[in-house]
Structure 1
Amino acid sequence: MRRPPRPVPVLRKALALVAALALTACSAAAPAPTPAARRTAGAAAGFPVTVENCGRTLTFDRPPAKVVTGYHPALETLLALGLGDRVAGRTFFGESAFLPGQKEQYDRIPQLSPTIMLPQKEVMLAQGADFVLDNAMASFDAAGGYATVEELDAAGSPVYILGGWCSPEEVLRFTLDDTFTDLRNLGRIFGVPDRAERLAAELRARLADVRKRVEGRAPVKVLATDGGKGPVNAYGGSGVTHQMITLAGGENVLADVEGDYTEVSAERISAARPEALLVSDYATLRGEDMPSAPAKAAEAFAVARNSPAAEHGRYLALPVAAQHPGYRNLLAVTDLARFLHPDAFTR
């Protein structure tokens, strides 16, 4: 379902098969200065700024002005920070579940790739970007024809990976606190630290409200699934989806299963007897190998046919973008809590 470095990256894998790259011929953004010009232009007020990401030290003498974003959670995080005017190019996002007010901004930004992957090496290097933001390392794999992190750094296009999803091991170590770290780092990089702190404070208040509402309530047993009749693609006891379930007042029935996105036997799913399902939803990215959320829910209900979830047909379709590092996963905790404990939100 998801992008590498996950063990079964169905979404990335399927979309990466698209052979033709539809490119927007021109951008309204002004040409970016050359790397040499950036180095000699001098530091802006409040700069230089230095941050750590993926074991690398990134230093900025001025806020980025020509940004390219990868998979959509990267773009919507910048939009949430009010930085849409800095984005000169983006990848495709076919899911219908745009965050409020963001579809219009998305449509105004030139599309550089018809998939969620960044464009191929030559196209990417030709953008002259002064910052690249993405959610994983898949779009920087030389074997796939992409510009590497090192090549983009050398071209004056430093790469930042949200959530520190820089390796399979780091995906498992991810916590929602890493999203707050990203907001703080991006605020500093773009010279808007106060704006980032205000957004972080709003999000922390939302999470505190959820905790207060679900406190003392019996956790709802949740199976988070991406479909399959056996083995079932599901979410174990590590990573972002497990944390969202827990914060929302749920109990992940696969909490003792090692890993984040993994395969689980039908027998294990049946024995778990979930009370509710959380189903990854790709919306308009569906294809023959990407069934709809209702179809995936039906598969899980058939496997766990003796469960309370199947008896009541209880499931929530969660946009898959919320299961990747970015601003959206913090918002999704509230949506999940409302689904699991609707009576806690009547006041």
Structure 2
Amino acid sequence: MNPRIPLRPLALVPLVTVSVLLAGCGARVEGASEAGAGPVTVQRCGEEVEYTTPQRVVAYEGGSADKLFALGLVDHVHGYVMPPANPPVEESPWAEDYAAVEFLSDDLLNRELVVDAEADLVVAGWNSGFSDQRGITPEILDGIGVQSFMHAESCFNYPGHPERVTPFEGLYTDLERMGRIFGVEERATELVEGYRERVAAVEEQVPEEAAVPVFLYDSGTDQPFTAGNQVPPHDIIEHAGGSNIFGDLEQRWTQVGWEPVVEAEPEVIIILDYGDQPAQEKIDFLTSSPAMAEVPAVREENFFVLDYNEGISGPRNIDGLEKFAEYLRELQG
């Protein structure tokens, strides 16, 4: 996201029958990885890493916790760190799971917090949780005996072990890797297949007209922050039938100038809605900006609000896609 928000020993169960109890939008997997046959090797940003089954997971941001809860792993989660940008967890499809674990902090992730929590796994993204500057990296955690899991979508510029996947493929990859770590492969497969089907259903409804040019506005007044092609909003735009005006940028969240935004003449602007920076404030800024006055999206007031958790890597990306695709269909008549 915006750089001001630097913007995750027990053994595996052998192959067993996993009982899945559906509850709301998530599920609890009973008996997952409670005893078993030793560690499993799973990639972490292109690096082969050996994991033992975690029992005290600390998750940073909603996307990390949502992935764990969607896999039915609430019993393995000790708590979560939720910075102010994240909307209230009570609004989450997994609100009951959030209520069942500890809220650890509304600050940025740090090593002291992880140690105090006696975490055995930290789930976060690179530069959105893990950070060289703040002294909490997978290597540092390895050195103190704490396992780490990084979102594949965030590995694009991870030093030493970069990994590049499209944002939605990053979501699927994370669920599959977590499924192996926790011994819930069947649940992971079920989720991924369901998400792929939902994406395909959206694509089937895309009108045949030319793609609508779309600008993602994250934040910034002097210069805007936006989405390159390495973050989920890019895939949301493209799968829904739009065209990200900065889709040729091999970047994640990045700063651009207002002039190229105006020159691209976006017909729709997606507003990323932070918990601490409401969408309406951003819309008010855009509609009062003389530079943006003749941009078609501003002139026609074609603003679509994307929830923060629909814009960072997590299961709610698919919800965001479906909502935005419906918006575009209605806009195109």
TM-score by length of 1: 0.77
Kindly indicate whether residue 238 of structure 2 is the aligned counterpart of residue 246 of structure 1.
yes
Is 1:264 aligned to 2:256, yes or no?
yes
Counterpart residue identity of residue 111, structure 2? K
**C-alpha distance in 1 between matches for 2:127 and 2:151:** 10
Provide the C-alpha distance between the structure 1 equivalents of 2:89 and 2:58, rounded to a whole number of angstroms.
21
Letter in 2 for 1:89: G
* Equivalent-residue separation in structure 1 for 2:105 and 2:207 (angstroms): 44
Which residue in the other structure is 1:123 paired with?
113
Pick one of 155, 161, 175 that aligns with 1:166: 155
Residue type at the aligned position of 1:298? D
Report the Cα distance in structure 1 between the residues aligned to 2:223 and 2:127, rounded to whole angstroms: 27
Letter in 2 for 1:88: H
Aligned pairs for 1:47-58 (under 5 A) are 47=37, 48-58=39-49
Query: Higher strand fraction: Structure 1 or Structure 2?
Result: 2
| CA distances 1:169-224 after superposition (whole Å, capped 9, x unpaired) | 65875432121111111111111111111111110110010000115243222111
CA deviations 1:234-254 (Å, max 9, x no partner) are 223443322221111101223
Read off the aligned partner of 2:43 and give its amino acid letter.
Answer: E
Q: 1:73 Cα deviation (Å)? A: 0.5
Per the alignment, residue 231 of structure 1 pairs with 223
Partners of 1:262 and 1:342 lie apart in 2 by: 30
Q: Does 1:178 align with 2:137?
A: no
Q: Does 1:310 align with 2:304?
A: no
* 1:118-139 Cα distance to aligned partner (Å, 9 max, x none): 2x32332232222211122454
Tell whether the 8 Å contact from 1:129 to 1:156 is kept in structure 2 after alignment: no
> Over the residues paired in the alignment, what is the CA RMSD in angstroms?
2.7
Q: Could you give the per-residue CA deviations for residues 22-58 of structure 1, whole angstroms, max 9, x where no partner exists?
A: xxxxxxxxxxxxxxxx2xx665424442111123322
Pairs within 5 Å for 1:268-283: 268-283=260-275
Query: Relative to structure 1, is the Cα distance of residues 53 and 343 closer, same or farther in structure 2, using a 3 angstrom cutoff?
Result: same
**Cα distance in structure 1, aligned partners of 2:292 and 2:163:** 28
Q: 1:135 to 1:258 in 2, by over 3 A?
A: closer
Structure 1 moving runs of 4+ over 6 Å? none
SS in 1 for 2:126: coil
| Structure 1: runs of 5+ lacking an equivalent | 3-7, 14-37, 287-291
- For residue 321 of structure 2, the aligned residue among 333, 336, 342 is 333
Bigger mean CA deviation after superposition, 76-85 or 170-179: 170-179
Change over 3 Å in CA distance of 1:90–1:341 after alignment to 2: same
Distance in 2, Cα, partners of 1:182 & 1:260: 18
Aligned equivalent of 2:99, options 107, 111, 128: 107
1:135 aligns with 2:125: yes
Residue identity matched to 1:314: N
Matched, 1:10 2:43: no
Cα distance change of structure 1 residues 42 and 131 upon mapping to structure 2, 3 Å threshold? closer
Amino acid of the residue matched to residue 182 of structure 2?
F
Of residues 76-85 and 226-235 in structure 1, the stretch that sits farther from structure 2 once superposed is: 226-235
Cα separation, 2, equivalents of 1:74 and 1:332:
17
Aligned mates of 1:275, 1:168 — CA distance in 2: 31
Identity rate, percent: 27
Look up the equivalent residue of 2:46 and give its one-letter code.
G
Asked if structure 2 preserves the Cα contact closer than 8 Å seen for 1:68 and 1:132, the reply is yes
Distance 1:329 1:171, change over 3 A: farther
| Count of equivalent residues | 303
| Structure 2 letter corresponding to 1:9 | P
Stretch moving more, 246-255 or 164-173: 164-173
Give the one of 212, 218, 240 matched to 1:220.
Answer: 212
